[in-house]
Amino acid sequence: MLHFIHSLPKIELHLHIEGALEPEMMLKLSHANGIPIPYQNLQEIRRAYQFGDLQSFLDLYYAGASVLCKQEDFFELTWAYMLRCHQERVVHTEIFFDPQTHTMRGIPLETVVRGITQALKKAKEELGISSYLIACILRHLSEEEGMRTLEDLLDFRHEVIGIGLDSSEVGNPPSKFKNLFKRAKEEGFLLVAHAGEEGDSSYIQEALELGVCRIDHGVRCEESLELLEVLRSRRIPLTMCPLSNYALKVTPNLKNHNLLRLLRYGLCVTINSDDPAYFGGYMNANFEAIAQALHPAQDELRQLSLNALEASFLPLDQKKEIKALILEYS
Ligand code: ADE
Ligand code: ZN
């Protein structure tokens, strides 16, 4: 099973690049850029990775991201993730970044986007991995602030394919960003949103009303049978993140995770790593954790990869090529 998972061609659709910041790089950049963090060494950073809920993680994640200052920092972070994709046979990835986390600190959007896209280009040329970039709006901030960020993103239309919504979910429902998502759609961006991670199923319903084509997480969709039927019949993808859900206590243990049940019910479920440096693993570790806890058949693991391909923003001809790769693999 391990060998099958490791060599299965995989597609990642839910990865925050700031969440791929490993403790070693965090310490190094903290020293190099003179940005203090409240940890002296790797052990102290790792010890802090005990989360009670989403907010306790986000506090640390935003503190960690503050060490990213220069274009080279964003390049180095992204390149390290792409090398990991190469090792783990991730053949295509759609990466989130949080513009406001950086622009609020005075880092120009251009510095962030250039650093990330430079690494993505190199990964395409040298590793053959394709990718898209999605800018997430921070939902704990106002719609007005998000709208200003969306306007800044118009200068990077060729680099950024979509707009997402992340950060503290409860109390910040998708409807808060109705005007922003309407504008983003008019500007031609593809839309996704985190929903149903800690928020109840009404957050998923509201995200669909914004016009999103994927739901990030969606764990709480079973609370509404009507919603479940919509997700199934319209094949709205759920980008689920098992190790993240376990680390943030969205699920008490992985044996209780609904991922396999939803897959068997006919939903377009996918496996992703969310913030791998914080939650104990990249794509293979997430597949392995589900395999160990829920014992899916090999065909079901392959189906998870096919679902991610279907849910990706790749054009049809490239989907066909990758589909052949996945199907020939057994
Ligand atoms: N930002 C980074 N990871 C996140 C998550 N799991 N939920 C919401 N916002 C996030
Ligand atoms: Zn996420």
pLDDT in tens, 38-82: 999 999 999 999 999 999 999 999 999 999 999 999 999 999 999
Exposure of 246 by Cβ count < 10 A (0-12 exposed, 13-18 middle, 19+ buried)? Answer: buried
For the chain, how many structural domains are there in total?
Answer: 1
Mean per-residue pLDDT for 130-146? 98
Residue 329: its pLDDT value, please? 80
Ligand 1 atom closest to the CA of 275, numbered from 1: 3
Among the bound ligands, name the one nearest to the CA of residue 243: 1
Could you tell me which of 39, 91, 29, 95 has the C-alpha nearest to residue 66? 29
Could you tell me if residue 330 is inside a domain?
Answer: no
Q: Give catalytic residues, as residue numbers.
A: 197
Q: What is the pTM of this model?
A: 0.98
Could you tell me which of 255, 247, 245, 240 has the C-alpha nearest to residue 291? 255
pLDDT in tens, 86-98: 999 999 999 999 9
pLDDT in tens, 249-272: 999 999 999 999 999 999 999 999
Residue 164 Cα, ligand 2 centroid: separation in angstroms? 10
Could you tell me if residue 177 is inside a domain?
Answer: yes
Residue 22: its pLDDT value, please? 97
Residue 248 carries which DSSP code?
A: T
Strand, helix or coil at 39? Answer: coil
Could you tell me if residue 60 is inside a domain?
Answer: yes
Could you tell me if residue 319 is inside a domain?
Answer: yes
Among the bound ligands, name the one nearest to the CA of residue 55: 1
pLDDT of 182 higher than 90 = yes
Residue 320 Cα, ligand 1 centroid: separation in angstroms? 31
In this structure, what CATH number is given to the domain that contains residue 77?
A: 3.20.20.140
Could you tell me if residue 148 is inside a domain?
Answer: yes
Question: How far is 256 from 222, CA to CA, in rounded Å?
Answer: 13
Strand, helix or coil at 94? Answer: strand
Domain that holds residue 36: 2-325
pLDDT of 315 higher than 90 = yes
Could you tell me which of 219, 208, 197, 10 has the C-alpha nearest to residue 94? 10
Could you tell me if residue 288 is inside a domain?
Answer: yes
Nearest CA to ligand 1 atom 9: 167
Distance from chain centroid for Cα 187: 22
